[in-house]
Structure 1
Amino acid sequence: MNVGSHYKLIHFIPWTKEKIYKMLLISVVPTLLFYFLGWTWLAIPWVPVALLGTATAFISGFNNTQTYNRLWEARQIYGAIINNSRALSMMIKDFIRTDDKAEEKLLHKEMVYRHIAWLTALRFQLRESKSWEHVKTKSWNREYLQYYKVPEWESSLEEELKPFLSEQERQFILERKNRAVQIIALQTDQLRKLNEHGLVTDFNYVALENQFKELYDQQGKCERIKNFPYPRQFSTINVFFTNAFCALLPFGFLNEFSKIGEPFVWLTIPFSVMTGWVFMTLQQIGESTENPFEGNANDVSITQISRNIEIDLRDMLGEKDLPAPLAPMNNILM
C-alpha cells in the first residue's frame, strides 16, 4: 500500500517503460514508411479507430472498477479482523476467570498469543504465490520490488511463530496444510476444556465460540479472494482490446495529421505514444490491483495491520515491551 500523496514519476515512468518502448516502435515504423516511402495507404479513417477506442475505454473502465472492488473488499475484511481481534482479547480477559490470578493471566496470555499466531499464519498463507498473480511474473513488477520488501518472503513462518506458540503446538501447526484453521481449532479445543472445568460459563463459552466463528468467516473471505482469480475472460479481452487499439492509433493519426500538411505527420509519433501509454498503463494498473494479497506495492498492508493488532492486544495484556509499528519503505507499507 502506497502511503505517499502519489507515485513519483521517477518510480512510475520506469514501471511503465516497456509500454513506452512498445508504443514508440508501433508509431515510428508506419510514420517512416508513410513519409519516406510514400505508403499513403497506411493512413486509415479515424472512425474505426475511434470506435475501437470507445470499446477499449469501456472494457478498461469496467476492468479497473472490478479489480478495485476486490482490493476494497480485502481491506474491509481486514478491517473486520481488526475489530474482532480487539473484541476477542477483551472477551478472553473478561470471560476467563480463575481463583489464582497468576494462572488467570497466563491463560489470557496463552490465548491472546495464539490469536497473534493465527494472524501470522494467515498473512503467510495469503502471501503465497499463485500461477495467475503478476508480482513475480511481470518484469515491471519484479523491477519495482527493489523499492520495498515483502516480510513474508524475507522470513519463515516457523521462526515467526516461536514467540507465540509452545514448541509442541508449533510443531503440530507446521505439519498441517491450513495452519491458520488449525490454530483456531486449538483455541476452541482449549475453550471447551475451560468450560468443562467451570472456568468459562456456558453463556460466555457460546459468545467466545461465535467470536472464533467470525474469524473463520473472515479467513474464508480472504481465501476466496486469494484463491479465485479475477475472471480470465475479462482480463484477456481487456488485453486484446487495448493492444488492438494501440496498434491502430498511428494509422489513424497519420490520416488526421496528413490533412494539415506533410511535415505534420511526425506528430503521429508523440501523440500515438502518449495516447497508447495512457490506455496501456490503465490496463497495467488493473492487472496490478487484481490480487490484493500477492505482495504487490498496491496490496492491502496485511503485515502492517497484523503488527498493529499485535501491539493493541499485548497492550491490553499490560505488557510494556511492545514491538514498534512497521515503517513504510519508499512510502510502501506491506
Structure 2
Amino acid sequence: MIRTEKQGLGALIKITLPYFALTAAYAAFVFLLEENIGDHIFKVSAQIGSVFGIAVAFFLGFRMNSAYDRWWEARKIFGNLVNNSRSFTAKIYTYFQSPSNIVPDEDINRTVIAKELIDLTCCYISQLKNEIHEVPHPPYDQKTQSLFKKYAVEQTHKVSNEVLISLSTKIEMVFADKANIEKRDLMEHINQFYNIQGKAERINNTPFLKIYSAFTRVTVLFYVLMIPFIIGDIDIGGEDSHLELLAIPLLSIVSTLFLTINKLANLYGDPLEENTTSVPIDQICQTIIENCQEVKVKLS
C-alpha cells in the first residue's frame, strides 16, 4: 500500500516512464517527417485540437471521479468489516464471561466455545479475502480443517456463508432464553457480515463501465496520436537554432499526462484487484485476524 508521497511518486514514475518513452519516440518520428517533407505541412488547426482536448478532459474527469468513488466505497466496506469484526469478538469475550448467559449444561465449556467462535470469525475473514481474490477453496491447515469438521462447515459450498451459518447456529444453541438481548446483539453482527460481504462481492463482480472505458481509451489514444500534428514544431530562435527540438519533450509530457490519467482511472476502477492503487485488503484482513487473536488470548 502507498502510504507516503515519496512512495506515490515512485509508483507514478513507474507508470509514466513507458508512456513518456513511447510518446517521445512517436513525437520524434513525426518531427522528422515534418522537417524532411515540409515545414508545418502536417499542422492542423489549433482550434480543432483545443476543442477535442477539452472533450477528452471532460471524459477523463468524469471517469476519474467515478473510479475514485468506487475505490472509496470499497475502502468504507472494509472499514466496516474491521469495526464489525472487532466489536463482534469483543462481545463474544464479554458475553461468555457471564455463566447466566449460557444454557446450563455440563458439556458446554464457555471458554472453549468462545475461543472456537473467535477462530471461526478469523476463518471467515480469511475466506472472504480468498473469495475476493477468486480462490474460493484454498488449502486449509489442519486446525482449520478440524474446526470446520466440528462445526459442520460444508467446504463444497460457499465456505464464507457456511461459516456464518455455523456461527449463527452455535450462538442460537448456547445462549439461554433470558440472554435474548445478548444473542440478538451478536446475531446483528452476523447480519452485518452478510451485508459487508454482499457489498464487496457487488464491487468485485461488477465490471466498471467497460464499454465507456474502451471508448475513453480509444479517444485518448486518438488524441495523443493527433497532438504532434496539432501543435507542430516550436520555432524558437529560427529554423537553424535547433531549439525547436524542445517540441519533442513538450509533446511527450502532454501526451503522458492524458495517458497517465486514463491509466489511473482504470486502476482505481478496480479497487479490489491486486494492483498499485487497490484497497489493501490483505493487510486489512491480517490486521483483523491479529486483533481477534488478541481477544482470544484474554480468554486463556
- Displacement of 1:165 in angstroms is 5.5
Residues 46 and 252 of structure 1 are in contact (CA less than 8 Å); yes or no, is this contact kept in structure 2?
yes
- Displacement of 1:191 in angstroms is 1.8
1:182-211 deviations in Å (ceiling 9; x for gaps): 11011112122224xx37722322222111
Listed as ranges, the matches of 1:278-293 within 5 Å are 278-293=257-272
Aligned partners of 2:3, 2:68: CA distance in 1, in Å?
A: 17
Q: Give the counterpart of 1:254 among 226, 232, 249.
A: 232
1:303-333 deviations in Å (ceiling 9; x for gaps): 2112222222222233599xxxxxxxxxxxx
Identity %: 20
Q: TM-score, normalised by structure 1?
A: 0.78
Aligned partners of 1:318, 1:309: CA distance in 2, in Å?
A: 14
Residue 32 (structure 2) pairs with residue 36 (structure 1): no
Q: TM-score, normalised by structure 2?
A: 0.86
Q: Which amino acid aligns with 2:260?
A: T
Aligned partners of 2:142, 2:63: CA distance in 1, in Å?
A: 38
Residues 117 and 167 of structure 2 are in contact (CA less than 8 Å); yes or no, is this contact kept in structure 1?
yes
Going from structure 1 to structure 2, the CA distance change for 1:179 and 1:163 (only over 3 Å counts) comes to closer
Going from structure 1 to structure 2, the CA distance change for 1:252 and 1:206 (only over 3 Å counts) comes to same
Going from structure 1 to structure 2, the CA distance change for 1:187 and 1:238 (only over 3 Å counts) comes to same
Q: Which amino acid aligns with 1:202?
A: N
Partner of 2:168: 188
Partner of 1:304: 283
RMSD between aligned alpha carbons?
A: 2.9
Listed as ranges, the matches of 1:225-236 within 5 Å are 225-236=203-214
Q: State which structure, 1 or 2, has the greater radius of gyration over its C-alpha atoms.
A: 2
Q: Which amino acid aligns with 1:301?
A: P
Where do 5+ consecutive residues of structure 2 fail to align?
none
Partner of 1:324: none
Residue 24 (structure 2) pairs with residue 45 (structure 1): no
Residue 283 (structure 2) pairs with residue 277 (structure 1): no
Going from structure 1 to structure 2, the CA distance change for 1:235 and 1:187 (only over 3 Å counts) comes to same
Listed as ranges, the matches of 1:1-334 within 5 Å are 1-7=1-7, 11-38=11-38, 40-96=40-96, 97=99, 98=102, 103-128=109-134, 157-159=138-140, 162-163=143-144, 166=147, 168=149, 172-176=153-157, 178-195=158-175, 198=176, 201-254=179-232, 257-258=234-235, 261-262=238-239, 263-319=242-298
Residues 115 and 299 of structure 2 are in contact (CA less than 8 Å); yes or no, is this contact kept in structure 1?
no
State the SS of the aligned residue for 1:16: helix
State the SS of the aligned residue for 1:41: coil
1:220-279 deviations in Å (ceiling 9; x for gaps): 010011001111132122212211211111112216x25974345423211111110111
Q: Which amino acid aligns with 1:308?
A: T
